[in-house]
């Protein structure tokens, strides 16, 4: 069945084929999906490591209060507002070379990113007596280098790469799913390596410092191998209309990209709740469930739900669409958060696994569809303005994600202080006051549920449906074909054809001459 294209003013422009998007590009193979997944596995060895364990390291090892660490997450994001847009412009302005537009950035900045992450957890190794203002300064400097400079210069090109690999909706859905598989592999590696170390070192900050220093050093080697696989195993295939886009045109594309703006709003809210969970997750296991071993098992329960959600993504995209899938995921997240807030974890810590599994169902569904929705907004921006700005579009989306993560870190860190958690007591190996554990649990569940529901309300208004996206992609292909045909020179006439044309016109010319006499 044909689908009507829609011009920028909303007027239908005629029928198009419903399966537009291939345009001669080779189908993606398993190796391509695995290589793309490797990039997010490596990213999670740095950025997500900080989201899950940086606050625990600085409260329980270095002795910095939770509210101070949470404030850092928020303050640094204002610096990200600049670095993200600069990185996006660098990506859009770069000309395509032997490795394409995006992979060179991963090649150049992947290792500095891994090394800066290692530096974050080296505070007490490099400066054994560091404390107070010096500890806070060290935390800010190393975190800014990792998160705002090197991570930005790797992650924005990495995320911008997806729209260049394929325009086929099913393949984009699989790319997003494999990206989540990569993230899950990286995070599970983190928790099952680090959680036992935390469990063995509870009450012994010096031992925890030694083990984190060694472990993050190993992550440098592992991450470098994963980035190398990403660079070698992916290839850009989607045709670009222009090589570079001016800053003015990039900004015009953004301000008119309503689907991107709505998606960014919904994402920043959802990620605030999601990051609050990551920030407080270790504290829930240690203090509410009473065993640091649950750090790993809770995360396993959360990410094992991806094995349920992942295979369903292509079907969900075909049947209910990415927008409705996002809304459904946010609702499931809120239900799981309610279980986390109210379950008697002190008496029955296993109920935490149920809560984390339910939350994971929603988070994995939303996170997977979030990336596919972002890739769709690139085509929308090109269709609307004629400019294809993968880098700047992803930079804006990346910044909103980081703002959600910053707000989640700030909210989670502040909540720790509000509910009575003492970093000084923890760093000294002491015991927290009665009631703190239950308050941490209630705060975590309530925050996650509230932000998930707010995100749901925003995404209800997301305007880019699956049918409209297919129409836009088909229209873009028609435009490119018309531009290509217009740019080709007209073929020179064959000599015999030219002579026949002259003879055919001659009698007419003589009659015209006679008539004129």
CA gap 446, 441 in Å, rounded: 9
Alpha helices in 128-284 (DSSP H): 132-143, 151-165, 169-201, 205-233, 247-255, 258-283
> Which among 318, 338, 328 has a CA at the least distance from the CA of 362?
328
Tell me the C-alpha distance between 336 and 354, whole Å: 8
> Which 3 state secondary structure label does DSSP give 210?
helix
Q: How far apart are CA 459 and CA 259, in angstroms?
A: 10
Interacting residues of 516 by C-beta distance below 8 A, sequence separation 6+: none
CATH of the domain at 139: 1.20.1250.20
DSSP 149-164: IIHHHHHHHHHHHHHH
Place of tokens 């007490």: 124
> 């993606």: which residue's tokens?
28
pTM score over 0.75: no
Quick one: pLDDT at residue 13?
31
CB 411 within 8 A of CB 443: no
Which residue carries 């499931």 as its tokens? 332
Residue 113 to residue 309: CA distance in whole angstroms: 31
State residue 315's pLDDT score.
Answer: 84
pLDDT at residue number 503 = 47
CB-based contacts of 9, cutoff 8 Å, min separation 6: none
Residue 506 lies in a domain: no
Range of the domain at 301: 31-239+256-483
Question: Six-digit token pair at 92?
Answer: 């859009």
Assess if residue 416 is contained within a domain: yes
Specify burial of residue 95 (Cβ count, 10 A radius: 0-12, 13-18, 19+).
exposed
- pLDDT at site 306: 79
Under DSSP, the state recorded for 25 is P
Asked if residues 372 and 172 have their Cβ atoms less than 8 Å apart, the reply is yes
Cβ atoms < 10 Å from Cβ of 393: 29
Q: Is there a domain that residue 26 lies in?
A: no
The terminus-to-terminus CA distance of the chain in angstroms comes to 62
Query: Tens-digit pLDDT profile for the chain (517 aa)?
Result: 333 322 222 323 333 333 444 445 678 889 999 999 999 999 989 988 887 788 889 988 998 888 898 888 888 877 876 787 788 778 777 777 788 888 999 999 999 999 999 999 999 999 998 988 999 999 999 999 998 899 989 988 898 888 788 877 778 778 878 887 888 888 888 878 888 888 788 778 888 899 899 999 999 999 999 999 999 998 887 665 544 555 565 556 567 788 888 998 899 899 999 888 888 888 899 889 988 888 889 988 987 887 888 788 878 888 888 889 999 999 999 999 999 999 999 899 999 999 999 999 999 899 888 877 887 887 787 787 777 766 677 677 777 777 787 788 788 888 888 888 888 787 777 788 888 888 999 999 999 999 999 999 999 998 887 788 888 888 888 887 777 777 666 565 555 554 545 444 444 444 444 444 3
DSSP state for residue 430 in the 8-state scheme: -
Of 185, 189, 200, 202, nearest to 56 by C-alpha is 202
- Taking phi first (over 0 means left), then psi (-120 to 50 degrees means alpha), and beta for anything else, what does residue 11 get? beta
The answer to the question of residue 490 being in a domain is: no
* Alpha carbons 91 and 104: distance in angstroms, whole number: 10
The pair of structure tokens assigned to 227 is: 């980035």
310/303 Cα distance (integer angstroms): 11
pLDDT at residue 25, as a whole number: 64
Residue 14, pLDDT score: 32
Tokens of residue 174, six digits? 């699989």
**Whole-angstrom Cα distance, residue 110 to residue 227?**
7
Q: Is residue 366 part of a domain?
A: yes
Q: Supply the pLDDT for residue 114.
A: 96
Is 495 inside any structural domain?
no
For residues 249 and 385, the answer to whether their CB atoms sit within 8 Å is: yes
18 within some domain:
no
Domain count, the chain: 1
HSE-up of residue 15 (Cα within 13 Å, Cβ side): 3
Confirm whether 14 is domain-assigned: no
């Amino acid at each position: 069945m044909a689908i009507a294209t829609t011009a920028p003013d909303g007027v239908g422009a005629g029928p198009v084929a419903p399966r537009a998007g291939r345009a001669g590009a080779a189908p993606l193979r398993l190796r391509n999906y695995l290589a793309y997944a490797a990039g997010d596995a490596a990213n999670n060895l740095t950025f997500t490591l900080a989201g899950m364990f940086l606050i625990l390291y600085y409260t329980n090892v270095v002795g910095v209060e939770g509210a101070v660490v949470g404030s850092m997450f928020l303050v640094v994001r204002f610096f990200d507002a600049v670095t993200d847009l600069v990185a996006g412009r660098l990506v859009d302005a770069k000309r395509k070379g032997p490795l394409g537009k995006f992979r060179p950035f991963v090649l150049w900045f992947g290792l500095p990113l891994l090394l800066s992450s290692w530096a974050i957890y080296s505070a007490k190794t490099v400066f054994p007596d560091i404390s107070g203002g010096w500890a806070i300064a060290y935390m800010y400097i190393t975190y800014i280098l990792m998160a705002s400079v090197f991570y930005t210069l790797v992650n924005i090109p990495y995320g911008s790469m997806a729209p260049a690999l394929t325009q086929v909706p099913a393949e984009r859905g699989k790319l997003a799913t494999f990206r989540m598989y990569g993230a899950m592999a990286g995070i599970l590696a983190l928790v099952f390596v680090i959680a036992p170390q935390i469990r063995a070192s509870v009450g012994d900050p010096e031992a925890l410092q030694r083990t984190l220093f060694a472990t993050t050093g190993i992550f440098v080697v592992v991450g470098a191998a994963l980035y190398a696989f990403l660079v070698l195993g992916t290839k850009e295939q989607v045709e670009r209309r222009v090589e570079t886009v001016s800053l003015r045109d990039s900004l015009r594309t953004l301000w008119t990209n309503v689907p991107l703006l709505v998606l960014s709003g919904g994402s920043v809210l959802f990620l605030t709740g999601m990051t609050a969970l990551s920030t407080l997750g270790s504290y829930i296991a240690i203090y509410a469930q009473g065993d640091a071993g649950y750090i790993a098992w809770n995360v396993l329960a959360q990410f094992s739900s991806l094995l349920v959600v992942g295979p369903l993504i292509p079907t969900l995209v075909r049947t209910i669409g990415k927008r409705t899938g996002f809304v459904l995921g946010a609702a499931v997240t809120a239900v799981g958060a309610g279980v986390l807030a109210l379950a008697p974890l002190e008496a029955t810590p296993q109920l935490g696994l149920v809560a984390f599994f339910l939350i994971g169902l929603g988070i994995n569904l939303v996170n997977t569809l979030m990336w596919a929705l972002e890739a769709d907004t690139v085509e929308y921006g090109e269709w609307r303005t004629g400019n294809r700005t993968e880098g700047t579009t992803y930079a804006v989306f990346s910044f909103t994600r980081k703002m959600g993560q910053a707000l989640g870190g700030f909210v989670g860190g502040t909540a720790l202080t509000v509910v009575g958690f003492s970093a000084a007591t923890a760093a000294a190996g002491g015991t927290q006051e009665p009631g703190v554990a239950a308050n941490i649990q209630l705060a975590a569940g309530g925050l996650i549920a509230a932000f998930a529901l707010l995100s749901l309300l925003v995404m209800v208004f997301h305007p880019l449906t699956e049918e409209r996206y297919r129409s836009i992609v088909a229209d873009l292909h028609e435009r490119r074909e018309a531009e290509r045909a217009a740019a080709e020179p007209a073929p020179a006439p064959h000599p015999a054809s030219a002579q026949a044309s002259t003879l055919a016109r001659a009698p007419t010319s003589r009659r015209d001459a006679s008539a004129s006499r």
